Chains A and B, each alone.
Chain A
Amino acid sequence: MNTARLWRLAKGNLQREVGALAVSAGGVALGIGCLVFFLALGAGLRRAVNEVFPVSTREVEVVVPQVALGGLFGDLKIDDALAARLAQIPGVEAAYPKMALRVPAVTRYNGLFFGHELHMGLEIIGTGLPPAVLAQDTKAPFADQGEDKPIPVVVNRRLLEIYNKVFAPQRGLPRLSENMLIGFQLPVEIGRSYVAGKTLEHSQETALVLAGFSDRAALAGISMPIDAVKRLNARFGADAQSYSSVLLRARSSEAVPAIADAAKRMGLEIDESERRSALQIGQAVELVTLALSLLAALITALAAVNTMQAFYASVRERRREIGILRAVGATRGDVAAVILLEAAATGLAGGVAGVVVARLAAAVLDWFAKNHLPDFPFKPQSFFHFTAAQLLLGLAVALLAALFGAFFPAQAAARMDPAQALGE
């Protein structure tokens, strides 16, 4: 069987039946367009979720269980000894203890804020981290400078995004970039609270200086050098010995489950609140993508049925021609191959058209979102993420759908009695 020579025959038939086959290709294009569009939408949304909830596959956060298990483990606390044991778990590359600021703190800002009058009071939630955790993201020194010195802090980038997209527009404040805020100082009063009865004696006025923005900084509140937090906790008589959690960095993502198991055997548990959020949203996106992809698959299946009808009609109309092919030496396989080549060309044309339609539709929707949707937090540049694998999958499904549709008509053509076909 010489495919190139059979293709010459198929090409002639395609040109002659371009109208009918264009309808079949159009059906395939619709199905493949939907498939590629929804897959790219799902991938785009997953990418957006990963940006909002960046989940490291090499890190786990170990905390003391919230449910009291005193009878079993005693009064479990994460102290230096336990942190050291955690660091010794096989597969752990580094252990970073974290400590919550256990005394109240407030900031009051009255004055010009980048050219705008601002009057603001906030209760501060602080978490102490080893400087090494945030070393890559800080652009100013991030270490405790001691009493009466401003405390360097790092803020989560998502908070800046929320400020820029929600807070600033509502208050008529300017949008800010990270660089504009590095070195910015806020007055803070440690030991004071806006909650009645929580303010401590001898509160301390000092300042917070912004040292950087990081995805790894605490989402709720601000991150401070752990030595500063220890110092402040000790100054106000709060617990300055036990840690609120320990961030364990594994040597590889494969080691993470064993590390988590080892930590649990020590009576601790894994804080998966952020990871769970990312997973739940990711799973919701996956589910919706799957449902929409199934819809696209259904459209493609209908296109295959349409292709089948088109080729059955074509075979019926070409009975005599099929008889001629057999008379000049075509085998049954040759006859089937000619029809399948026509189907393959139809399917690929539909697949290419579908991919183009998907990309165009995505571009139109992105343009619409950019120009007509409000600028909400974490709004992505594009809601779509096209990959070569999606495009190849689209073309492969288009090819398979068309070949499946033409398979039975091709078999019918191959089984045709040549004498009867010529006699009609």
Chain B
Amino acid sequence: MSELAAQVRGLSKRYPPREAGAPAQALFDSLDLDVAQGEFVAVEGRSGTGKSTLLHILGGLDRAFEGEVRVFGRALRSLADDELSALRHQQLGFVFQSFNLLPSLSALDNVLLPDAFGRGVPDASRRAQEALERVGLLGKAKARPAALSGGERQRVAIARALLVRPPLLLADEPTGNLDAATGVGVISLFRELHAGGMTLLIVTHEARVSHAASRVLVLREGKLTPGEEGT
């Protein structure tokens, strides 16, 4: 068995009750997950089942959980805030449904955003140009997000996630705000990244994304269960 990129054991997360005296709402109930390095895992689930929360926990953005979560062997609960920042900076890439680009920066500067933190990114300018070229947007490097289409913005967001060449890419509904044709292009890009050896964990409710994955899991009632296999 290859080394695990992510390992989750007994993950539980509860939200405070909406009314005083009511029981806490459980989102996950002793959830387990293993993601091997080089895998392309899709997590399906209806809205509100906790897909985004699972991604935030794996990315060290949400620390309010019970259980054990390891990313590349490092237990997230034991890491200090700055160590989590360093982990996100060096080993994780995020892609969000709503792109999450900074409107005041150009496409190129958005891609270069991780270079502003930690020890920066070696050869960042060249890497940013390469990342934009890879997503087919080198010609729009100076454009602000407002001047880009939804698909172009998502490709800029993917280029940003690729700048540090992270071994694990976490994507939250990456095609959720895209039309069908544009979504296909993004999925194709994920396939390329997977073929290049990158580990991908994508949460989605779209079957076309799941079909591109090597393994599909379904998040239902706080548990992960195997779903219909992808490619």
Interface residues of chain A, those whose CB is within 8 Å of chain B, are 2, 5-6, 8-9, 12-13, 15-16, 320-321, 323-334, 417-419, 422-423
Contact = CB atoms under 8 A, between A and B. Distances in A.
Nearest to B157: A324
A15 B106 CA distance: 13
A328 B88 contact: yes
B56 A329 contact: no
B103 A419 contact: no
A330 B102 CA distance: 14
Interface in B47-70: 52-53, 56, 59, 61-62
17 contacts: A5-B120, A6-B116, A12-B104, A15-B104, A16-B103, A320-B100, A325-B113, A326-B61, A326-B85, A328-B88, A329-B118, A332-B82, A334-B85, A334-B116, A418-B56, A419-B61, A423-B56
B4 interface: no
A331 B85 contact: yes
A330 B116 contact: yes
Nearest to A17: B104
B117 A331 contact: yes
A8 B89 CA distance: 18
B81 A332 contact: yes
Nearest to A328: B114
A329 B109 contact: no
Contacts of B114: 328-329
B61 A329 contact: no
A328 B113 contact: yes
Contact of A12 (B53, B86, B109): B109
Contact of A329 (B53, B62, B85, B100): B85
B96 A422 contact: yes
Contact of B81 (A9, A324, A331, A422): A331
Interface in B117-166: 117-118, 120, 160, 164
A207 B61 CA distance: 99
B94 interface: yes
A333 B105 CA distance: 21
A423 B82 contact: no
A329 B81 contact: no
Given A327-B59, A328-B89, A329-B88, 19 more contacts: A5-B120, A9-B102, A16-B103, A320-B100, A324-B113, A326-B88, A327-B61, A328-B88, A329-B85, A329-B86, A330-B116, A331-B117, A332-B81, A333-B82, A334-B85, A334-B117, A417-B62, A422-B61, A422-B100
Q: What's the interface size class on B, roughly? A: 20 to 34
Nearest to B85: A331
A320 B97 CA distance: 13
A419 B85 contact: no
Interface string B74-101: 0000000110011011100010100011
A332 B53 CA distance: 21
A327 B58 CA distance: 12
B105 A12 contact: yes
Contacts of B160: 328
A328 B103 CA distance: 16
Contacts of B94: 327-328
Contact of A5 (B90, B116, B164): B116
Interface of B: 52-53, 56, 59, 61-62, 81-82, 85-86, 88-90, 94, 96, 100-105, 109, 113-118, 120, 160, 164
Q: Interface on chain A toward B: helix, strand, loop, or mixed SS? A: helix
Nearest to A334: B117
A57 B114 CA distance: 63
A327 B105 contact: no
Contacts of B105: 9, 12
Nearest to B83: A331
A323 B100 CA distance: 9
Contacts of A9: 102, 105, 113, 116
A330 B88 CA distance: 9
Contacts of B53: 419
Contacts of A2: 116, 120
A417 B81 CA distance: 11
B117 A329 contact: yes
A362 B140 CA distance: 51
Contacts of B118: 329, 331
Nearest to B98: A320
A6 B115 CA distance: 9
Given A329-B85, A330-B85, A331-B81, A419 B117 contact: no
A323 B113 CA distance: 13
Contacts of B103: 16
Nearest to A415: B81
Contacts of A13: 104
A186 B115 CA distance: 87
Contact of B100 (A5, A324, A331): A324
A327 B115 CA distance: 13
A256 B96 CA distance: 78
B61 A16 contact: no
A100 B100 CA distance: 90
A328 B56 CA distance: 12
Nearest to A11: B104
Given A2-B116, A321-B102, A329-B117, A419 B88 contact: no
A412 B105 CA distance: 23
B97 to A, nearest CB: 10
A5 B89 CA distance: 15
Contacts of B90: 329
Contacts of B100: 320, 323-324, 327, 422
A2 B120 CA distance: 8
Nearest to A332: B81
Contacts of B120: 2, 5
